Amino acid sequence: MKQRARLKLNNTHRPQRRLIMQARSASTASAVVLSHLLIVLSTGAFSQVAPERTIEEIKTEAVARAEQGRYPLIGLDPADVREAFASIKTRDPDEWAASFMKVADRYMNEGKSIEATNRAKANADYIRAWRLYSFGRWPIPSSPGKQRSYAKAIEAFLARARFFDPPLEVVRIPFESSQIIGYMRLPKNAKIPVPLVIAVNGLDSRKEDLSESFAAILPHGIGFLAVDGPGTGQAPIKASENADRMLSRVIDYV
């Protein structure tokens, strides 16, 4: 890394505690949102006695959300979603993942084949592939197929990131016997030190999603470091009562 953002902390304990508590609050809020969405997609009602939706009902709901640009299908082309769902006959997670990967693979392969000659189209292909792979693992990579879809989502996102300006840096922070993988972007032509936001995802999003949304702060002279929260994505530890030690390590790094 050519440049390093720095956080100036006058008291090393209170600011860390405040940031950690903010991260916990964000994770809790995301968990509440996820619970709501799972109810919407799976049951369509808030009653505890409501029957589970059939796969056809889930397909109809998901396509409608893609058409309306609603979470969790924001940015997905409804035609791609319909194509993926056409071969899904059950609620099996691996069948779900395989179908979305099949559609995404087409865009990923095309992007690789034309990147040297048509960067704009390759970038568009990588974005499309990333979003499809991500929905293939949604809400969590709970099966081998969904885990493969998540791995491909990371690959597609990093392929897309090659086009970023200012660039994205993959940081690897030593942590216990493993590492914390994060994505850092600093404002263009930034003079160090710069303000920096540490972005931590909830249960169903990932640092790749955060990197897309937090790009909006870069023109305002603010950078970000996005990491997967404990128990999600590529985080090195599971969620627990003392998992905030991982976030403390991230703060120490910057």
Task: Return the pLDDT at 52.
Answer: 87
How many whole angstroms separate alpha carbon 243 and alpha carbon 103?
Answer: 37
Topology of the domain comprising 39-44+52-161: de novo design (two linked rop proteins) (1.20.1440)
Q: Where are the domains of the chain?
A: 39-44+52-161, 165-253
Q: What are phi and psi of 201, to 5 degrees?
A: -75, 170
Sign of the torsion angle spanned by Cα atoms 130, 133, 139, 144: negative
Q: Does domain 165-253 have CATH number 3.90.1150.10?
A: no
At 15-65, the pLDDT tens digits run 333 333 344 444 444 444 344 444 445 444 444 556 788 999 999 999 999
At 64-111, the pLDDT tens digits run 999 999 999 999 999 999 999 999 999 999 999 999 999 999 999 999
- Beta strands at 223-227 and 169-175: parallel, antiparallel or unpaired: unpaired
Model pTM score: 0.80
